[in-house]
Amino acid sequence: MGDIYRALADPTRRALLDALAAVNGQTLYALCGALLERGISPTRQAVSQHLAVLEDAGLVIVRRQGRYKFHDLDTRPLREIAQRWPDTPGAT
């Protein structure tokens, strides 16, 4: 689970997850555009590296169609975190 926390720690990676939550199955090019709309302008190489971290953490699934790679959000690791520490009534 350590990779999940590392992946979520970076604001650019969180913005990528937000972009995928809004429109799943995006290419690298589309994700770069989505980041630009959010005022973030990393290089394609930097976005690719961020996506690799998210993929290693299990938060993004990559699928190939022809010569294109599509990135899909996978929220299962986040649900595992929520199950690990369930909400306890009366806790502050």
Which of these, 80, 61, 59, lies nearest to 70 by C-alpha position?
Answer: 61
How would you write the pLDDT of the chain (92 residues) with one tens digit per residue?
Answer: 558 999 999 999 999 999 999 999 999 999 999 999 999 999 999 999 999 999 999 999 999 999 999 999 999 998 888 787 777 776 65
Q: Determine the pLDDT at residue 30.
A: 97
Separation in Å, CA 29 to CA 23, 25, 71, 82, 92: 13, 12, 11, 32, 43
Per-residue model confidence (pLDDT) at position 80: 83
